Amino acid sequence: MKKILKLKKDTRKNLITYGMIILAFLIVRFLSASGNISSAFRGQLVPICVYIVMAVSLNLTVGILGELSLGHAGFMSLGAFTGVIAAIILQGSVSNPLRLAIAMVLGAVIAGIAGLVVGVPALRLRGDYLAIVTLAFGEIIKNIINTLYVGIGENGFRISMVNAESLNLGERGTVIMNGPMGAVGIPKLATFASGFILIMVTLFIVLNLQNSRSGRAIMAVRDNRIAAESVGISVTRYKLMAFIISATLAGAAGALYALNFSTVVARKFDFNTSILILVFVVLGGMGNIRGSIIAATVLTVLPELLRAFNNYRMLLYAVILILVMLVSNNEQLKNMTKKFKGFFKIKRPSDLKGGTARE
Amino acid sequence: MSSRLLKTPMVPFPSRAIIPARDLDKPPILEVSRLGIDFGGLAAVDDFSIIIGRTEIAGLIGPNGAGKTTVFNLLTKVYQPSSGAILLDGKDTSGMNTVQINKAGIARTFQNIRLFSSLTVEDNVRIGLHNHLNSNVFFDIFRLPGYWKSERQAHQMTLELLSIFGMEHMIHYKAGSLPYGAQRRLEIVRALATKPKLLLLDEPAAGMNPSETEELMRNIIEIRDALGIAILLIEHDMKLVMGICEGIAVLNYGRIIAKGTAEEIQTNDEVIEAYLGEKKEA
């Protein structure tokens, strides 16, 4: 106990976040083993993991870097289809977990490269330009993938933008992506455990980055660009760094998402999905990683729980969103929680006198 | 406290420029010649030339709107000058940007405080140390030994720097929650963390009470003596300027109207006119 109290505040906060995820994983595992989980909820497990990763990675751009991105689903989409292509090509040559890992890494790399291409021109600008460019990026990616025909057959790997016949795959060929019909015949490689691992990796990367030299530079750019430049921090470099890491993680999440279903269409990753992820971030609190995790989980489960109200489902969803916004911004409630926190607060040496927390 | 400084003999350097006698054998840290910028035809700063010695404390004064902060923005390349040259430590700075200027050795504070207000005092100083820490993003994410070494170093240096103003106990406070005077001091600490050769202070005593200002004067001299750097400051508090500045330049309407020691400036007719208005003919 004493040792935990002596840890730095940030370290303690991070350990609680990791612990929360591990605990949730173990509880779900236990309930699942004892048959206490409905099949509907079991189907939600991987999407929940994916949305947590999406929310945490977008929080890196929106909360920690302070730039608005409206096309996060575009990176997810790139990762998803890259992952599907990789998984189908590798069919039969490597074991399933390894195939999933390779698909996620490739999805992450391609999304990261897209992040670089979008970020280099957009992040050099000031103001809301990144929001506009990422918004357009998401739409462009969706429309390109909608016209893309990809297959593997006698002549090897083929890409076309006309139709599936023009791929010339031969008798035993498989069409991987069929234009607006999306990717079909996807092997279901994603598991809850792999989702859990991806969350842990994401948290490891984002939390470690946040409490480091690079992360501090990123937050300095957010807080005051002019002051950051005046102390010798290259603003464009650190903006790009945060944006690319964010895109990379979204790509990995996209691959995991796609490999959880038998078919995936590009329309799934549209503007609405980008906004949904942004809602997770805003609701969970900008820069608050744990908040993003909770918001993503609750808001993914909520529409399913509200299925009983059927017609009023989306109405209730909206009302709950508005209520949460009102409550979380209410001065009086904030003061009450503050008092509540103060009552239970454990006195640490660093609260009384600074500089001793590290020793 | 400042009497020692006032007695420093000032010697003409190349032509009419003056720097303290003790800095004469070394090349000056900053040589600015005929610097100018105009915004849409209006000359905000024009024909601005100064020379600052290695360990000099210099002052830049003038009425409101004279262009003092613009000079700082030109020196740190927030604005690119439209004419003139800036030599820092003998090297031409044309074509450099703000980041490169800081790496070359100029650090500054801001008239309207610009701290990273949502971060702690320690983080603010560590961000100042950025270019003197050897970690990189790879070390940072995977917590390799390079990360831990750099963090330890950063903590040590942060405590050392904060001790200049006796602020070590504030290390975990949020920068935005500090009292005004402490925020001004933290900005100086953050600037010093970049290990500059020349420190630019934009109204460091603004909003401070007389006793705080007195202490700040002592601190500025201590910083100069301990680190051996040059300091150029903009200030409206004449007690501070006349007390610690060895060379003073007076700016009015973007032009230097007088240069000299405190005594020379105080008796200069043009300066008095700029501050108090024209003398009425009887």
DSSP A147-177: T-EEEEETTEEEEESS-SGGG---TT-EEEE
Res A3 pLDDT > 80? no
Report the C-alpha gap between A255 and A271 in whole angstroms.
18
Find the farthest-apart pair of alpha carbons in chain A and give their distance in angstroms, rounded. Answer: 76
Closest chain A residue by Cα to residue B117: A223
Chain A residue numbers with beta carbons less than 8 Å from the beta carbon of B171 are 354-355
Q: The domain containing residue A302 runs over which residues?
A: 2-346
CB contact under 8 A, B140 and A358: no
Residue A358 lies in a domain: no
pLDDT interval class at A2 (50, 70, 90): low
Residue whose C-alpha is closest to residue B224's, from B93, B32, B54, B59: B54
Report the distance separating Cα A66 and Cα A128, nearest Å.
11
Q: Indicate the pLDDT class of residue A61, thresholds 50, 70 and 90.
A: very high
Q: Which tokens sit at A332?
A: 């009086």
- Nearest CB to B155; choose among A208, A219, A358: A358
Q: Are residues B46 and B6 in the same domain?
A: yes
Q: Quote the number of domains for chain B.
A: 2
Interface predicted TM-score (ipTM) of this complex, two decimals: 0.89
Q: For residues B126 and B186, state if they share a domain.
A: yes
The reply to whether A247 falls in a domain is: yes
Contact A230 B130 (CB under 8 A): no
- Contact residues on chain A for B147, CB-CB shorter than 8 A: 212-213
In the block, residue with structure tokens 């108090």: B276
In this structure, the answer to whether residues B131 and B152 fall within a common structural domain is yes
The CATH number given to whatever domain includes residue A180 is 1.10.3470
pLDDT at A291: 93
Q: List CB contacts of A90: < 8 A, sequence separation 6 or more.
A: A99, A102, A103
pLDDT of residue A353: 42
* Residue whose token pair is 């831990």: B148
Indicate yes or no: CB of B169 within 8 angstroms of CB of A355: yes
User: Mean per-residue pLDDT for B142-150?
Assistant: 94
- The verdict on B48 and B176 lying in the same domain is no
Q: Are residues B185 and B209 in the same domain?
A: no
Confidence at B207, pLDDT banded by 50, 70, 90: confident
A352: in domain: no
Shared domain check, B136 and B74: no
Q: Which two tokens stand for residue B256?
A: 């230097």
Hey, what are A197's tokens?
């691992």
Please indicate whether, in this complex, the C-beta atoms of B102 and A231 are within 8 angstroms of each other: yes
Helix (H, G, I), strand (E, B) or coil at A352: helix
Which pLDDT belongs to residue A167? 83
Domain match, B179 and B203 both: no
User: What proportion of chain A, given as a percentage, has pLDDT over 70?
Assistant: 92
Are the Cβ atoms of B119 and A220 closer than 8 angstroms? yes
Distance CA B56, CA A169 (A): 79
Between residues 106 and 145 of chain B, which touch chain A (CB distance below 8 Å)? Answer: 107-108, 110, 114-119, 123, 126-128, 130-131, 133, 135-137, 140-143
Confidence of residue A174 (pLDDT cuts 50, 70, 90): confident
* Last residue in a domain, options B190, B216, B251: B190
| Sheet bearing B42-52, strands edge to edge | B42-52, B30-39, B83-88, B91-92
Element (H, E) at A199: helix A192-210
Q: Is residue B154 located within the same domain as residue B220?
A: no
Given a cut of 60, is residue B58 above it in pLDDT?
yes
pLDDT at A227: 97
The last residue of one of the domains, among B190, B209, B239, is B190
Domain carrying residue B149:
113-190
Residues 6+ apart with CB under 8 A from A41: A301, A304
Same domain membership, residue B226 and residue B173: no
What is the pLDDT, as a whole number, of residue A302? 84
Domain end: B167, B190, B213, which one?
B190
The CATH number assigned to the domain holding B94 equals 3.40.50.300
**Is residue B117 within 8 Å of residue B167, measured between CB atoms?**
no
Q: At what angle do helices B121-128 and B180-193 cross, to 10 degrees?
A: 30
B104 has a chain A CB within 8 A of its CB: no
Tell me whether B194 touches chain A (CB under 8 Å): yes
Does residue B275 share a domain with residue B153? Answer: no
Task: Give how many domains chain A has, as a whole number.
Answer: 1
A182 has a pLDDT exceeding 70: yes
Are B175 and B234 contained in the same domain? no
Residue B195 has pLDDT above 80, yes or no: yes
- H helices then E strands: how many in chain A? 15, 3
Lowest mean pLDDT among A94-103, A202-211, A281-290, B193-202: A281-290
Hey, are the CB atoms on A217 and B130 less than 8 Å from each other? yes
**B137 and A214: CB-CB below 8 Å?**
yes
Task: Tell me, yes or no, whether B57 and B138 share the same domain.
Answer: no
pTM to 2 decimal places: 0.89
pLDDT-based confidence at residue A5 (cuts at 50, 70, 90)? low
